[in-house]
């Protein structure tokens, strides 16, 4: 903030009477019918077309983030829809607002941790990943912080999404030192803590994002776009099989009982 | 609202220690690596897998809605990001909040108009589409309302997305009486008004949604999920090439000049 | 939309190096210490200072809307805060998104109904309010619509806020034909339906807003500003005595049981 | 997160058929007509009634935060309203989403800084405030961070709100060691940097919040509730004197020119 520009620019899209161009491609003739939604997301964010291999891996990581059942974010969206059914978009927005440090942050945190341990320009230079893994885990343990991307309350001893994502990455040339480092960090963390700490889906996605070279700041954005799709599904179900009203009524009764008159 | 249920249900997804199921499919083995993001959106919303043809058409209509340049929604998202760069999700949410009756409503409106003119159970029964088109346009004209899905401030005499979307629909067995009716409505509206009223992209998408049989209430949701992707792209660009600060400063100066002291 | 202006204007506030002016008043010397928050809201919205009487009534109607216990809006805000505790503002925003036609709409609806029955320029001209009330109720009954501002699931036979709000209005010269008409509509509706249909708080507020002459479109805004205050309180409590996690866990367990594997 | 409770509680409000209680007070008879909106906000957040002096000071600090002209937050709200005029609440929500670390964070930051320098249990124990001020400024300077609550792009050499807020605090027994420390920090920071660094409004509010003993985490909430009021005012003006459409059109034209075809 602070310096003024003469002219403002934006290089995503432009259109005139007979042309619509997105990231330099003609939308009707070069995009529609030639790409799937994940590919367009890749184009929108990177400014270039995904290769067939990148398309496979990128679609898989975004898909992983779409649907997680009845999450706090889905509950918020459904509650909002009950009050404002005419504003489906506001219900999705409400659901997205909670995708912060607690639920999506671990993905971003995993990417950041990996980049900090192994900056992009050190990849392929023969860095000792075993040593890096020990260093990284020790640093988190020293400040009593949770290693991002590890551990899951339900999916133990392994999160079933992780081996599959790493398999897809490997089959498509996207399995390199970041995934290797994540796996070593996982092994060290389990050994040092004596606990089951599987690489969870956000850890797997975070590591794969590093293989792509995506800036860690945008990794959260993949979760946000994916959950927007998931939330539209929840709102559609809520419109057909509402559960919000009952959640609300049960809670109101419980609070009245525990916290109401003369309790 | 009003009746209470004994047990709440949700049929989108569930998971236990070693399984994650979305719409009845095992996420790791049956979805990841086998579907693209558009296909998963289709699964999430309809509860069934898209056929290869449906995948083509559905991906195309959602892609059409992702990116429209510097829209009010993109400006709102960028302004929000300037104030809260730590909350990318809230910036996307802010951008989505404005996808209401003015900008995405026409898509929903087009679907609703077509379903009201031609209920699903009348398709294939030999209804006179020409007569329906005249009736429909007359009804809108009588109450001085705009026919949804027609007209565009820039893309005249045709919106280049529309013929391409209809072509993709036709190539994949999704071009039926709803698209035909939309085209007839367009022709009648141009003739009666004497104005250029191209079928715009939201009109084309609305008609194709009817071919799929999607409830008109959820059509807005396709725009919302698509724009979430677009907005993440705008926020990424804003983080690298910010324009919000200048938009704000220019406006503040203009308002101070026109509406400040002693004017 | 559509016509372009040469110069943009805004007449709410401006500032330069040593002055900050809100609605024509010097913020430090003429507002701070001289007004309460409700008075400033009145100034912000109407552009003029409230009289002592208006201040009493306006503060009362906005206060009425601040807090309603564990509402869907409070649940959405708390769920959002659980995921993004670093973004208190986004949790409030999520809670506000649901203040739509179902929960706050009745207030707006009551004002609109009253203005349509009795346009501002007919007040004081001796209109027959009894006839108007019958006409109004009949019109709603004919289209099987609920009369806005009447009825409450819990507060029966009277909503205790309503007589108090009308009392405050009367004590301060704000009880006129709109409140009288609302009361007559209530009486007619109860008689014709044979049900208890108390004037609820939103009906009382809607009627008083008409006494002020506020445009019905902004009436919802009073609810929105009031609930923002209420939601900050809920988030503060959630930070000290969290309930979202348990709501979520209970629900996830119930859904897993009813809708999980092999049910 | 993590531990489950048997029973959920909430001590803000409850109601039954003939009673509505907020923070232990009967809403109709003990609140309506007896409090202004700022007092109710105080009650909602602290659980107790403000004294007459506290009411004066608290109303003043929240009022200070209501209106700042055409801010990024107001622009986001107006843009959102253009697209979804039927969802006033979503436009306010969009405007609130940007009240994060950049614009409202300095208030929270000022409170946090003051509490860290002078924990509540040290107040009145004769701590050397001059030494504390030097230590505090040095610590920020050492890590090249901006001292929160100091400096303003326009209001120099003083922010006119600050002396007035401190005056109101002093007149009402709320001027103690936190305000004194803030002033000393300001003096030290100006001397060490050689720049004009007035205590800005958020710094003044942050210091006064410490005098009240409010937890620093909730300080942002005062800004959020205040801006909700301000934003309703902006949306009302936008509905009568729209500027969003022109902002959008100008920007689209500029971007087309700088970043469109063959540039």
3-state secondary structure of D150: strand
| Chain C: residue whose CA lies nearest to A101 | C84
For residue A122, give the DSSP letter.
Answer: G
Q: Is the pLDDT of residue B70 over 90?
A: yes
Q: Is the pLDDT of residue D15 over 80?
A: yes
Is residue A200 within 8 Å of residue A159, measured between CB atoms? yes
Q: Is the pLDDT of residue C100 over 80?
A: yes
CB contact under 8 A, D14 and A256: yes
Give Cα D165 distance to the centre of its chain: 13
User: How large is the average pLDDT for residues B156-181?
Assistant: 96
Q: In B37-71, where does DSSP find H-type helix?
A: 37-46, 52-64
User: How large is the average pLDDT for residues D148-165?
Assistant: 93
pLDDT band at D16 (very low <50, low <70, confident <90, very high): confident
Q: Which chains touch D (3 or more CB pairs under 8 A)?
A: A, B, C
User: How large is the average pLDDT for residues D53-73?
Assistant: 96
Q: Mutation test of the interface with chain A: which of D12, D14, D95, choosing the one with the most A Cβ atoms within 10 A?
A: D14
Give the pLDDT confidence score for residue C2 in this predicted structure: 57
Q: Mutation test of the interface with chain D: which of A2, A9, A14, A89, choosing the one with the most D Cβ atoms within 10 A?
A: A14
Give the 3-state secondary structure of B154-178: CCCCCCCHHHHHHHHHHHCCCCCHH
A217's CB contacts (< 8 A; 6+ apart) are: A108, B88, B239
Reference A33, options B38, B68, B41; nearest CA is B38
**d(Cα A27, Cα D202) in Å, to the nearest integer?**
47
Percent of chain C with pLDDT over 70: 98
Q: Is the pLDDT of residue A263 over 60?
A: no
User: How large is the average pLDDT for residues A106-127?
Assistant: 95
CB contact under 8 A, B98 and D79: yes
Instruction: Establish if B75 touches chain A: CB-CB under 8 angstroms.
Output: no
Q: Is the pLDDT of residue D263 over 80?
A: no
Q: Mutation test of the interface with chain A: which of C71, C73, C75, choosing the one with the most A Cβ atoms within 10 A?
A: C75
For residue A198, give the DSSP letter.
Answer: -
Is residue D178 within 8 Å of residue D114, measured between CB atoms? yes
Q: Is B52 exposed, middle or buried (0-12, 13-18, 19+ CB in 10 A)?
A: exposed
Instruction: Establish if D211 touches chain C: CB-CB under 8 angstroms.
Output: no
Q: Is the pLDDT of residue A236 over 60?
A: yes
Its sign, for the CA torsion D227, D229, D234, D238, is positive
Q: Return the residue matching tokens 């980049």.
A: A115
- B139 or D16, which is more confident: B139
Q: C131 vs chain D: nearest CA distance in angstroms?
A: 31
Q: What is the pLDDT of residues D173-197, one digit of tens each?
A: 999 999 999 999 999 999 999 999 9
Q: In D84-160, where does DSSP find H-type helix?
A: 88-97, 105-117, 129-142
Give the pLDDT confidence score for residue B100 in this predicted structure: 94
- For chain D, give the mean pLDDT: 94
C-alpha dihedral (C175, C178, C181, C183), degrees to nearest 10: -50
- For chain B, give the mean pLDDT: 94
Is residue A199 within 8 Å of residue A183, measured between CB atoms? yes
Q: ipTM more than 0.90?
A: yes
Q: Between the CA of residue D245 and those of B79, C8, C246, D242, what are the distances in Å?
A: 16, 10, 45, 7
Give the pLDDT confidence score for residue B190 in this predicted structure: 97
Q: What is the pLDDT of residues A60-92, one digit of tens each?
A: 999 999 999 999 999 999 999 999 999 999 999
Which residues on C lie below 8 Å from D8 (Cβ)?
A: 243, 246-247
Reference B45, options B211, B222, B203, B226; nearest CA is B222
Q: Is the pLDDT of residue B16 over 90?
A: no
- C6 or D200, which is more confident: D200
pLDDT band at B262 (very low <50, low <70, confident <90, very high): low
**d(Cα B28, Cα A165) in Å, to the nearest integer?**
8
Is residue D185 within 8 Å of residue D133, measured between CB atoms? yes
Which two structure tokens, joined as six digits, stand for A91? Answer: 């219900």
Q: Is the pLDDT of residue D2 over 70?
A: no
3-state secondary structure of B219: helix
Q: What is the pLDDT of residues D27-36, one digit of tens each?
A: 999 999 999 9
A259's CB contacts (< 8 A; 6+ apart) are: D9, D10, D11, D14
3-state secondary structure of B262: coil
Give the pLDDT confidence score for residue C167 in this predicted structure: 98
Of C86, C90, C248, the CB nearest to A75: C248
pLDDT band at C6 (very low <50, low <70, confident <90, very high): confident
**Residue positions counted in chain D:** 263
**d(Cα D79, Cα C4) in Å, to the nearest integer?**
16
Give the pLDDT confidence score for residue A66 in this predicted structure: 95
Reference B189, options B179, B202, B199; nearest CA is B199
Q: Helices then strands (H, E): number in chain A?
A: 11, 3
C-alpha dihedral (A69, A72, A75, A80), degrees to nearest 10: -140
For residue D13, give the DSSP letter.
Answer: E
CB contact under 8 A, B9 and A241: yes
Report the predicted TM-score, pTM, of the whole model to 2 decimal places.
0.96
Is residue B149 within 8 Å of residue B204, measured between CB atoms? yes
CB contact under 8 A, C254 and B14: no
**d(Cα D94, Cα C224) in Å, to the nearest integer?**
13
Q: Which chains touch C (3 or more CB pairs under 8 A)?
A: A, B, D
Q: What is the pLDDT of residues C50-78, one digit of tens each?
A: 999 999 999 999 999 999 999 999 999 99
Is residue B62 within 8 Å of residue B38, measured between CB atoms? yes
User: How large is the average pLDDT for residues B144-170?
Assistant: 94
For residue B32, give the DSSP letter.
Answer: T
Which residues on D lie below 8 Å from A10 (Cβ)?
A: 255, 259
Query: Phi and psi (nearest 5°) for B199?
Result: -70, 120
Q: Is the pLDDT of residue B263 over 80?
A: no
Q: Is the pLDDT of residue D71 over 70?
A: yes
**d(Cα C95, Cα A97) in Å, to the nearest integer?**
10
3-state secondary structure of B261: coil
**d(Cα B234, Cα B238) in Å, to the nearest integer?**
6
Q: What is the pLDDT of residues B94-144, one digit of tens each?
A: 999 999 998 887 899 999 999 999 999 999 999 999 999 999 999 999 999
Give the pLDDT confidence score for residue A34 in this predicted structure: 97
The DSSP annotation for chain C comes to -----SS----SEEEETTEEEETTEEIIIIITTT--HHHHHHHHHHSSPPPHHHHHHHHHHHHHTT--SS-HHHHHHHHHHHH-TT-HHHHHHHHHHT-STTTTHHHHHHHHHHHHHS-GGGTTS---HHHHHHHHHHHHHHTTPPPTTB--SSS-S--THHHHHHHHHHHTT--SHHHHHHHHHHHHHHHHH-S---B-HHHHHHHHHHHHT--HHHHHHHHHHHHHHHHHHHHHHHHHS--HHHHHHHHHHHHHHHHSTT-
User: How large is the average pLDDT for residues C131-153?
Assistant: 95
Percent of chain B with pLDDT over 70: 98
Percent of chain D with pLDDT over 70: 98
- Say if residue A255 is preceded by a cis peptide, omega within 30 of 0: no
| Chain D: residue whose CA lies nearest to B104 | D83
At how many degrees (to 10) do helices B52-64 and B216-240 cross? 60
Give the pLDDT confidence score for residue D18 in this predicted structure: 86
Give the pLDDT confidence score for residue A98 in this predicted structure: 97
User: How large is the average pLDDT for residues C97-109?
Assistant: 90
pLDDT band at B2 (very low <50, low <70, confident <90, very high): low
- Say if residue B15 is preceded by a cis peptide, omega within 30 of 0: no
Which residues on A lie below 8 Å from B41 (Cβ)?
A: 37, 66, 229, 232
3-state secondary structure of A200: coil
Instruction: Determine how many CB atoms are found less than 10 A away from the CB of residue D249.
Output: 15
B3 φψ region: left (φ > 0), alpha (ψ -120 to 50), beta (else): beta
Which residues on B lie below 8 Å from D237 (Cβ)?
A: none
User: How large is the average pLDDT for residues B209-220?
Assistant: 93
């Amino acid at each position: 903030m602070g310096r003024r520009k003469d002219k403002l620019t934006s290089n995503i899209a432009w259109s005139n009477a007979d042309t619509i161009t997105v990231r330099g491609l003609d939308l009707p003739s070069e995009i529609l019918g030639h790409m799937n939604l994940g590919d367009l997301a890749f184009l929108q964010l990177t400014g270039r077309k995904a290769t067939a291999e990148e398309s496979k891996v990128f679609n898989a990581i975004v898909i992983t983030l779409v649907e997680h059942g009845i999450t706090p974010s889905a509950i918020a969206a459904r509650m909002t829809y009950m009050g404002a059914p005419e504003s489906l978009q506001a219900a999705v927005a409400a659901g997205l607002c909670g995708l912060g440090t607690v639920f999506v942050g671990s993905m971003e945190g995993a990417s950041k941790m990996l980049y900090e341990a192994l900056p992009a320009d050190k990849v392929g230079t023969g860095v000792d990943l075993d040593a890096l893994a020990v260093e990284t885990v020790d640093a988190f343990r020293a400040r009593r912080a949770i290693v991002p991307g590890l551990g899951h309350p339900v999916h133990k001893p392994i999160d079933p999404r992780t081996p599959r994502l790493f398999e897809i990455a490997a089959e498509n040339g996207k399995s390199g030192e970041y995934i290797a480092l994540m796996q070593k960090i996982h092994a060290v963390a389990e050994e040092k803590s004596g606990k089951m700490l599987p690489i969870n889906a956000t850890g797997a996605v975070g590591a794969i994002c590093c293989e792509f070279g995506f800036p860690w700041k945008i990794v959260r954005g993949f979760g946000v776009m994916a959950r927007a799709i998931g939330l539209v599904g929840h709102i559609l179900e809520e419109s057909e099989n509402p559960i919000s009203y009952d959640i609300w009524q049960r809670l109101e009764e419980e609070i009245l009982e525990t916290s109401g008159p003369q309790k």
